[in-house]
Amino acid sequence: MAPDRSELLKDLTADEAQRILAFGSRLTVPSGASLFQLGDPAERLFLIERGRIRLTLPMQVRGREEDVVVEERTSGQTVGWSALIPPHKFTLAATAPLETEVIALPREELRKHFAANPTVGYKITLNLAVVIGHRLQLFQAMWLREMQRTVEKHSA
């Protein structure tokens, strides 16, 4: 995967990106299969090479627990950043709605590599901060929209 095609590898040189990707293993997730479940230990970070990943949260719908899609990630994007953020547990579930190929990067190898190559660690951490920050801002705005409606409903 070329660095410019991946949100995680952005601003890395081709050589730096190649060394990161060398830690990874390519996985094919069949259509409808799960990549990880909510609460699972987050040992690996995933770069989507091809296909799509649906991130879901459980919701009670008519007394039954249903997985509701909260975000979809496509080629070039990253899922499973809980692998780099304590307490290293997935806070969402991930499934593939169609056959999807991902590159799984093990946390421990990445940590060691970042310790030995702080510049690479800094660039990747910055890219990860963009991914996390974007989700935070998005959900913050969504939460405020819901709150506004709740307030309007209860003060009408």
Partner 1 sequence: MEMLLTVLCMSMLGLAVTAIAFGAATRPKKSSSQVQPELRPVKAVGPGRFFADKVVPPDSPGSYVPTEVLLAQIENHVRLEQAAAQSFLESPTHAQLHTKTTSVFVN
Q: Is the dihedral of CA 111, 113, 119, 125 positive or negative?
A: negative
Residue 66 found at the interface with partner 1 (CB under 8 A):
yes
Whether the CB-CB separation of 51 and 101 falls below 8 Å is answered with: yes
Which listed range, 15-23, 38-46, 57-65, 106-114, lies at the site for partner 1 (CB under 8 A)? 57-65
Write down the least CB distance from residue 62 to partner 1, Å.
6
How is the chain split among helix, strand and coil, in percent rounded to 5? 40, 30, 30
Q: Considering only CA atoms, which of 16, 71, 70, 15 is closest in space to residue 48? A: 71
Interface segment toward partner 1; rule CB under 8 A; list 38-46, 69-77, 82-90, 121-129? 69-77
Smallest CA-to-CA distance from 124 within 115, 40, 135 is with 115
Backbone phi, psi, residue 84, to 5°: -100, -5
Which pair of tokens denotes residue 101?
Answer: 């190929």
| Contact pick of 7, 71, 99, 109 for partner 1 (by CB under 8 A) | 71
| Positions in 117-156 near partner 1 (CB under 8 A) | 134, 137-139, 141-142, 144-146, 148-149
Minimum CB–partner distance for residue 136 and partner 1 (Å)? 11
The DSSP symbol for 75 reads T
Per rule CB under 8 A, is residue 61 in the interface with partner 1? yes
Binding mask 5-44 for partner 1 (x = CB under 8 A): ----------------------------------------
d(CA 131, CA 74): 13
- Residue of 68, 98, 130, 151 interacting with partner 1 (CB under 8 A): 68
Binding residues for partner 1 (CB under 8 A): 59, 61-62, 64, 66, 68-71, 134, 137-139, 141-142, 144-146, 148-149
